[in-house]
Amino acid sequence: MSSPETSTDGFALFGSWRPADYIEQRVKQYQAWYDKKAVTAKSSYLRMRTTIVLGGVLVPVIVNSAIPYKDLIASVISLAVAAFVALESVYHYREQWKNYRSTEQFLSREQVLFLTGEGGYKEFKSAPAAFIYFVERCEGAIEAENASTLNVMTLAQQEAKPVKANQAPPHI
């Protein structure tokens, strides 16, 4: 007969992860994923902002110059600037970058505090209780980041939808 902590085939399931396993298989995996996503979002944000700023600076110079096809060139640059401004309001790269980076940094900090027994972990009398607290904090941060990203993307979709004349705007 198997206990509640074991499966029918005898392998322990419930509470079977050791701290080293959890850190290696979950925390470090998410840290690497958040780091990669933060780098990508930051790069996209900075490219878009650079294009917007440079385009905004170049258009008046081009319009006031004597170069051939200046109207066409200014129009193309203005179109690119407008497109990037619109895309930034859809993708929210800055918010994504901040969310991913702050979550990655939180996981790193929490891991150090847990491994050194500092911060909130000083109060625990047993290592298993400290580990449960560590897991709860890490999983809570991951869950909060997921909710934040979904919220940013959902709000962006709601803002992009046209409001019908007889429809009330969504409440935020």
* pLDDT (tens digit per residue) in 36-59: 999 999 999 999 999 999 999 999
Alpha carbon 73 to its chain's center: 36
pTM above 0.75, yes or no: yes
Distance (Å) of CA 87 to CA 18, 52, 65, 81, 97? 44, 11, 29, 10, 15
Q: How far is residue 30's CA from residue 33's CA, in Å, rounded to a whole number?
A: 5
Share of the chain above pLDDT 70, in %: 83
Distance separating the N- and C-terminal Cα atoms of the chain: 53
Q: How far is residue 106's CA from residue 1's CA, in Å, rounded to a whole number?
A: 42
Q: How far is residue 72's CA from residue 142's CA, in Å, rounded to a whole number?
A: 48
Nearest alpha carbon to residue 97 among 142, 137, 149: 149
Nearest alpha carbon to residue 34 among 155, 156, 138, 157: 138
pLDDT at 11 (0 to 100): 62
Positions of the chain with pLDDT lower than 50, given as ranges: 1-4, 6, 163, 165-172
pLDDT at 14 (0 to 100): 78
pLDDT at 157 (0 to 100): 65
Q: How far is residue 142's CA from residue 27's CA, in Å, rounded to a whole number?
A: 10
Q: Which long-range contacts (CB under 8 A, 24 or more apart) does 75-80 make?
A: 80/51, 80/55
